[in-house]
Amino acid sequence: MGLQAQTLVSAKWLANMVNRNLVGPGLRILDTSWYLPMMNRDAKKEFAETHIPGASFFDIDECSDRTSKFDHTLPNEQFFADYVGNLGIGNDSHVVVYDASDFGAFSCTRVWWMFRLFGHPQVSVLNGGFRDWVKRGHPTTGTYSRPEAARFTATMERSWVKSFEDMTKNINTQQFQVVDVRPRERFLGWEPEPREGVKSGHIPGSKCMPFFEFLDKDGMMLSPGKLKEFFEQSQIDLHKPLCGSCGSGVTACHMVLAAHLCGAPWATVYGGSWYEWFTKAPPEHVATEVKPEI
């Protein structure tokens, strides 16, 4: 692994880089916006209309194993290397990721995690995302110039990804803690999942920490102190192994980022998350709770 980049960068810092024309082979910016169908947003169309100057668009669905029946399954090393290389990213590039969600961060943590997973720790998240960038009056553009392709070599850290089999065994062995970052109502089985044919509920023994609760009202990541309090309140021990899960492996990476900021960089992700779990698990392993009468 190469040099470790600062985990979070501010809009002020990035604007300074943009204003000094430092976006190039040494600094690449990626708009990683991705939305659920229910959000009624077209990430590519929005990027074409407005984005941070010098940014390229990273498509989570395109940079995936398209042969899998599950959404945005991780690609192999060569595919990832070719994909990011075509965005002008080399092994010496510092990559800054952001998304344009109303949360301040939604899908960008997934791409932050993917770069680290494939051996590139020189990646940062724009704290507050495009929401904060615009709020602070920094420049935007609808013009895109594709960067010159670069050579990127990827080495995947496979131990950072948990499989369905790993999750099934863990129900009995409890070798790692499972953190589900979907909204509590879906975790408890009280509200429907966004994917047709998938019922809500959770993996037995998992704990719920909704991804948006890692952020403050302005869409900024909570301080490490407040994040540690949130983990403690959720009965998660940061000194022990932990694994993030969500609907399909995107927002689970918020937990990984939060744990990383708390000094626990060993958090893993269940790639298939709830979508795969509900599809494959026996009914007794789809846990729900009875909704109280009001």
Q: Which residue ranges make up each domain of the chain?
A: 8-156, 159-285
Level-2 CATH architecture, domain 159-285: 3-Layer(aba) Sandwich (3.40)
- Geometric angle at alpha carbon 145, from 139 and 149, rounded to 5°: 125
Helix 108-117 / helix 252-261 crossing angle, nearest 10 deg: 70
Query: CA-to-CA distance for 111 and 97, rounded, in angstroms?
Result: 7
Cα–Cα distance for residue pair 61/227, rounded to 1 Å: 29
Residue 159 identity (one-letter amino acid): S
Q: DSSP 3-state assignment of 221?
A: strand
Contact 234, 91 (CB under 8 A): no
User: Which CATH architecture best describes the domain 8-156?
Assistant: 3-Layer(aba) Sandwich (3.40)
pLDDT (tens digit per residue) in 222-242: 999 999 999 999 999 999 999
Q: Which of 63, 108, 243, 246 is catalytic?
A: 246
One-letter identity of residue 93: S
Residue 70 has pLDDT above 90, yes or no: no
Read off the DSSP letter of residue 141: B
Q: Average model confidence (pLDDT) for the chain?
A: 96
Q: What percent of the chain has pLDDT over 70?
A: 98
Judge whether 63 counts as a catalytic residue. no
Of 57, 53, 79, residue with least CA distance to 68: 79
The residue to which tokens 């879906």 are assigned: 186
Tokens coding 281: 């698990």
* pLDDT tens by residue, 199-214: 999 999 999 999 999 9
Find the helix or strand (DSSP H, E) in which 94 lies.
strand 94-98
Structure tokens at 82: 């070719």
Confidence of residue 4 (pLDDT cuts 50, 70, 90): low
